[in-house]
Structure 1
């Protein structure tokens, strides 16, 4: 039996980094505003747990992105498929990631992909050229998390 999973990434600004990754991957930022309004009206959520972001209410310290074609719960906004959750922590990133995302360009245009990611706030770390085995850029997202851009 296959298990459901999501990738969780620690960060210092969950909503901002969710915006970056939604644009980078062509995903959608989950919209929990209906759930938040319900929890606030029932006094099950303190105002301090809510942040204004992108013109709506979001959970302070938590944000997620989901694949636009995967199913999701319309009330909570939670995706039931390919999903990344960003969890705010107080410590800044230290050291190299032990897990990373590879972003692939379907058209194989590595230069265009890298330029698009840089326009979103990513930075280049170094080019890896393994000849016939492949070529890719190691990059960092706006919070310094490493990922690879592959053509």
Structure 2
């Protein structure tokens, strides 16, 4: 017996706003929405595809009444694919993200940020081809 990782659910106040933010960050699209819920992904899952192999999970934003109270125990990591880490951080700030100061770790090469509702995520090293993005931190 096996299970598949199919969705990552994020509790939030404004599912439409967070879905729009993360669609812009990840180049995803809205694949489902209902009252108080928006699901985004890079593909539209079908039962057959999910049963056949592990596919990238979708993100589901669900409206809840309570606010975020503590640091997330689970967070997303993103890696720029066509520019430097610094360029991506600038783009994400323009989209509504903020930098988060959690203290530096020795040798830290990632940038800690938060989405518009304060959910932390990390921007990792650039995966852009070497001649496309020069990033001194990784």
Question: What TM-score bracket applies, with the shorter chain setting the length?
Answer: 0.7 to 0.9
Shift of 1:82: 2.6
Uncovered stretches (5+) of structure 2, i.e. residues with no partner: 47-54, 126-138
Aligned residues between the structures: 115
Q: How far apart, in 2, do the equivalents of 1:4 and 1:99 lie?
A: 14
Q: 2:77 & 2:106 partners in 1: Cα distance? A: 16
- 1:92 alignment counterpart: 67
Query: Structure 1, residues 101-134: CA drift from partner, whole Å, max 9, x if none?
Result: 0010124611001001111100001374643xx5
**Counterparts of 1:123 and 1:111, CA distance in 2:** 14
After superposing on structure 2, the runs of 4+ consecutive aligned residues of structure 1 that deviate more than 2 Å are 70-73, 126-131
Q: Could you give the per-residue CA deviations for residues 58-96 of structure 1, whole angstroms, max 9, x where no partner exists?
A: 4221001101xx3446xxxxxx75300001000011100
Task: Report what 2:26 is aligned to.
Answer: 25
| Structure 1: distance between partners of 2:88 and 2:56 | 25
**Any unmatched runs of 5+ in structure 1?**
33-57, 74-79
- TM (norm. structure 2) is 0.74
Q: Name whichever structure is richer in helix by fraction.
A: 1
Instruction: Name 1:102's counterpart in structure 2.
Output: 77
* 1:3, distance to aligned residue in structure 2 (A): 1.8
Contact 2:5-2:57 at 8 Å conserved across structures: no
* Alpha-carbon distance in 2 for matches of 1:27, 1:128: 31
Q: Which has the higher strand share?
A: 1
1:97–1:146 contact (8 Å) kept in structure 2: yes
Report the counterpart of residue 38 of structure 2 in structure 1: 63
